[in-house]
Amino acid sequence: MTAKLTDIPFSVLDLAPIVQGGNAADSFKRSVALARHVEQLGFKRVWYAEHHNMENIASSATVLLISHVAEHTEHIRVGSGGIMLPNHAPLVVAEQFGTLESLFPDRIDLGLGRAPGTDQLTSMALRRYHHSVDQFPGDVAELRGYLAAADGNTPVKAVPGIGTQVPIWLLGSSTFSAQLAARMGLPFAFASHFAPTYLHEALRLYREQFRPSIQLDAPYAMACINVIAADTDSEADRLATSFYQMARGIVTNARQPLPPPVDSMDGIWDDMEKAAVLQMMRYSFIGSPGTVRAGLEAFVEQTNVDEIMVGSHIYDNSARLHSYSLLKPFFKSCH
């Protein structure tokens, strides 16, 4: 059965962007304001991603940011989208998220990624090495065991953590994590907001290969997309130029704080950069409420996802909050 847009929940991916003229402290204030806002709108969860050595993203200490936002909200789920497991010992992650779950019961999600979330040099500075990526399935199983129900025969226990059964998600931009999530019976989130190529293939494999588990008895798939909504198409297009400049920085490896919008991208990107940005950000829905809704309805019909996670890269925070407000009529509220 094909899902309807209004029958599925929406969630938020907040990269805690640092904007031009701002700093990390400003970013955290923006994140709290956004989380409170989308909580009132009925969004289901808000996630933060672990990135390192990036001048435009302030969520490197992801666990601390999750705790800060959870403390300043009441019921919205707060979690990681994701923790890059190759950077960490599974026991430490279990203890951290066991602590979060103990502080904020039934509100914490643990999304796990297989990439380091940074460049090779920074990965080495984190004291983790690339062979750790190959150990990802075993590390997920180990972490899952630390959060499982208490077993008297377990020699190493995560305290806190053991018995909390914090929900684990696997995140991916290819088919690898989709198949691993299916095999382990875990929910799966696809990073279609920046890596659209394998979206449909990953969803197909996940659903075909899914095996029920203690955590989940049927496949549950979420796709992350970009949305910039405004009262008019022209205003949304202008707001989106901040997003395009940010994406161009990824393509050219010249990252910088999120810049203010401009009247035109002409002279900022060349034809090759524009093509690369538009390909990478294929699943971006930009425009007035009517324009965005039509695009989202088509996306849900094509993917049949169970949940949508929305990222909105907008320079002005009031415009960012308004963008999320405009989505309220489109989805199933989680109040």
Q: What is the DSSP letter of 43?
A: -
Q: How does DSSP assign 74-113, residue by residue?
A: SSSEEEEEEEEGGGS-HHHHHHHHHHHHHHSTT-EEEEEE
Confidence (pTM)? 0.94
User: Which pLDDT score is estimated for 254?
Assistant: 86
Q: How many domains does the chain have?
A: 1
Is the pLDDT at 117 greater than 60, yes or no?
no
253 has a pLDDT exceeding 60? yes
Q: Is residue 48 included in any domain, yes or no? A: yes
Task: Compute the half-sphere exposure of residue 300: CA atoms within 13 Å on the CB side of its CA.
Answer: 22
Lowest mean pLDDT among 25-34, 75-84, 166-175, 248-257: 248-257
- Looking up residue 43, the CATH number of its domain turns out to be 3.20.20.30
Summarised one tens digit per residue, pLDDT across range 258-303 is 999 999 999 999 999 999 999 999 999 999 999 999 999 999 999 9
What does the alpha-carbon distance between residue 137 and residue 170 come to, in Å, rounded to a whole number? 10
All residues at 6 or more sequence positions from 159 whose CB lies less than 8 Å from its CB, including other chains: 95, 98
| Residue 89 domain-assigned (yes or no) | yes
* 37: three-class secondary structure by DSSP: helix
Is 294 strand, coil or helix?
helix
Rounded CA gap, 72 and 49, in Å? 19
Amino acid identity, residue 100? L
CA–CA separation, 5 and 273 (whole Å): 32
Residue 298 domain-assigned (yes or no): yes
Over its C-alpha atoms, the chain yields an Rg (Å, rounded) of 19
For residue range 92-108, list pLDDT tens digits in order. 999 999 999 999 999 99
- Those residues whose C-beta lies under 8 Å from the C-beta of residue 228, and which sit 6 or more positions away, are 236, 239, 240, 243, 284, 285, 286, 287, 312, 313, 314, 323
Q: Is residue 141 part of a domain?
A: yes
pLDDT band at 151 (very low <50, low <70, confident <90, very high): confident
Q: What is the pLDDT of residues 5-23, one digit of tens each?
A: 999 999 999 999 999 999 9
- The answer to whether residue 110 is domain-embedded is yes
Domain that holds residue 273: 5-330
DSSP of 180-243: HHHHHT--EEE-TTT--TTHHHHHHHHHHH----SS-SS--EEEEEEEEE-SSHHHHHHHHHHH
265: in domain: yes
Does any domain span residue 12? Answer: yes
Query: Would you say residue 335 lies in a domain?
Result: no
**Please, which pLDDT band fits residue 116 given cuts at 50, 70 and 90?**
low
Report residue 134's pLDDT band, with 50, 70 and 90 as the boundaries: confident
Between CA 286 and CA 284 the distance in angstroms is 6
